[in-house]
Amino acid sequence: MQSPTQTQQDIGQGQNKTQGMVASIICAVAIAHLLNDLIQATLPAIYPVLKHNFALNFAQVGLISLVYQITASLLQPWIGLYTDKHPKPYLLPLGMIVTLLGIGLLAIAPSFYVLLIAAAMIGVGSSTFHPEASRVARMASGGRFGTAQSAFQVGGNSGSAIGPLLAALIIVPNGQIASAWFMLFAFIAVCVLFKVSQWTIHHAHKMVSSGAASTAYKLHGKTLLRALIVISVLILAKFTYIASLSNYYTFYLIHKFHVPLQHAQLYLFAFLAAVAIGTFVGGPIGDRIGRKAVIWISFIGMVPFALMMPHANLFWTVILAMLAGMILSSAFAAMVVYAQEAVPGRVGMVAGMMFGIMFGISGIAAAALGALADRNGIEWVFKLCSFIPLLGFATIFLPKTNGKTD
């Protein structure tokens, strides 16, 4: 007969193993993430088309981006906080319906102000999707939280890479009205997310109970504040560095090595593919060796590659960029899961905060680095950014959560 202590250990440590990961649901939310981020990436990709059609100046283009970023970033933590307290299973497909309507409005928008409304609707759909889908991924993880978050995030990375390509193939040659084709992707996502919501309703109580038992290691007070500050610093470092490459890598290669634009684009996609691979492998590794260990390896491991890249020739620049992107991206799932374990019961709020900060920092960093490049040159910016991963040493101040994930 088991002792009470042994029974508690079984509840706290073994329950998730009996539950097991629900791979079909993880796959579903990853596909929905791909479709969502594919649509989100379409908007900035067609700014030149909109600028020409409506005779916009750069300030007006920037206002479209600002409206989108505000709705896509700042709303996420609040939506997550609300749904933590008041679960809304069908919010996922409803949010994607808002995105679908936003895409339709974008296709037929007759004026600049209608464009702003369309951008806001697309942003609201994104704000609804990320915290809720991240919650479902964790719910279906069977205790393999890092693996589930990695798979979920890889879907988004893939969509962000595919979106501009499809926009170039479909919208740019055929004009603004061709945006309506992307409503098909949104409709597919609505169907997928409707099924996910049905699964959530039938399994939520059992999965949440299991997850709660395995994450009863809450941080408090100053320790919690310290953990969240350090995670915020690490996100700042990660996404500022990634933004420097995602937005200006092609310009850097063209300027320094005089490569053709087509070749520079291929090198950019190689970098984005490396980022996706790093994101995918980081989660399972974190489940095995711990979140904090993955964060250490991710930041400190890529510092030499980042520091060498501005001084390398073309061949090694491409290789070093891929290595740096792959290693650095492995940390994101670990950071999300670490924060969720530090604040159990606030999965949606934490996910919304993390994804919201990610979008916000990426947008601000891209604008700031562009201004610096105008003033000091693109090579100067890349030399500056090579030191950003050194902020990863802030990991030393991360408090322990529990024996498995510290």
Pick the closest to residue 357 from 16, 155, 80 (CA basis).
Answer: 80
Buried b (16+ CB within 10 A) or exposed e, 241-250: bbbbbbbbbb
Helix (H) or strand (E) segment spanning residue 59: helix 58-69
Q: Is 5 domain-assigned?
A: no
Pick the closest to residue 26 from 333, 340, 299 (CA basis).
Answer: 333
**DSSP type of residue 397:** G
Q: Is 10 domain-assigned?
A: no
Specify whether 196 is located in the same domain as 275.
Answer: no
**341 to 18, 52, 212, 238: CA distances (angstroms):** 20, 48, 10, 21
Q: Is 301 domain-assigned?
A: yes
The predicted pLDDT at position 275 comes to: 85
Give the Cα separation of 99 and 120 in Å (integer).
9
How far the first Cα of the chain sits from its last, in Å, is: 33
Give the Cα separation of 97 and 233 in Å (integer).
34
Tokens representing 138?
């964790």
From 194, 214, 234, give the residue that closes a domain. 214
From 174, 198, 214, give the residue that closes a domain. 214
Specify whether 249 is located in the same domain as 326.
Answer: yes
Pick the closest to residue 295 from 235, 344, 343 (CA basis).
Answer: 235
Average pLDDT by stretches of 10, the chain with 406 residues: 41 45 90 92 79 81 79 80 82 94 94 93 89 85 83 84 82 88 95 93 60 54 85 86 81 89 78 84 83 88 93 95 90 81 74 72 76 86 92 88 50
Specify whether 210 is located in the same domain as 271.
Answer: no
Name residue 14's amino acid: G
Specify whether 168 is located in the same domain as 71.
Answer: yes
Specify whether 229 is located in the same domain as 343.
Answer: yes
Tokens representing 50?
């909109």
Q: How many domains, in total, are found in the chain? A: 2
Q: Is 167 domain-assigned?
A: yes
From 214, 244, 267, give the residue that closes a domain. 214
Give the Cα separation of 289 and 284 in Å (integer).
9
Q: Is 7 domain-assigned?
A: no
Q: Is 8 domain-assigned?
A: no
User: What is the residue whose two structure tokens read 């937005």?
Assistant: 247
Tokens representing 184?
């098909």
| CB of 255 closer than 8 Å to CB of 248 | no
CATH number of 122's domain? 1.20.1250.20
Mapped onto helix, strand or coil, the DSSP state of residue 110 is coil
Q: Is 309 domain-assigned?
A: yes
Tokens representing 215?
């994450």
Buried b (16+ CB within 10 A) or exposed e, 201-222: eebeeebbebbebbbebebeee
Give the Cα separation of 50 and 44 in Å (integer).
10
Specify whether 258 is located in the same domain as 294.
Answer: yes
Q: Is 173 exposed, middle or buried (0-12, 13-18, 19+ CB in 10 A)?
A: exposed
Specify whether 163 is located in the same domain as 284.
Answer: no
Pick the closest to residue 39 from 104, 132, 112 (CA basis).
Answer: 104
Q: Is 130 domain-assigned?
A: yes
Mapped onto helix, strand or coil, the DSSP state of residue 278 is helix
Specify whether 67 is located in the same domain as 209.
Answer: yes
The beta-carbon contacts of 233-236 under 8 Å, at least 24 apart in sequence, are: 233/391, 233/394, 234/295, 234/299, 234/331, 234/335, 234/391, 234/392, 234/394, 234/395, 235/335, 235/354, 235/357, 235/358, 235/361, 236/361, 236/391
| CB of 282 closer than 8 Å to CB of 298 | yes
Specify whether 31 is located in the same domain as 146.
Answer: yes
| Residue numbers of the domain that contains 204 | 20-214
Specify whether 207 is located in the same domain as 230.
Answer: no
Handedness of CA 23, 29, 32, 33 (dihedral sign): negative
Specify whether 291 is located in the same domain as 401.
Answer: yes
For residue 170, count other CB atoms closer than 10 A to its CB: 16
Specify whether 207 is located in the same domain as 232.
Answer: no
Q: Is 82 exposed, middle or buried (0-12, 13-18, 19+ CB in 10 A)?
A: middle
What residues contact residue 406 under an 8 Å CB cut-off, 6+ apart? 290, 291, 292, 400
Give the Cα separation of 48 and 36 in Å (integer).
22
Tokens representing 373?
């490049």
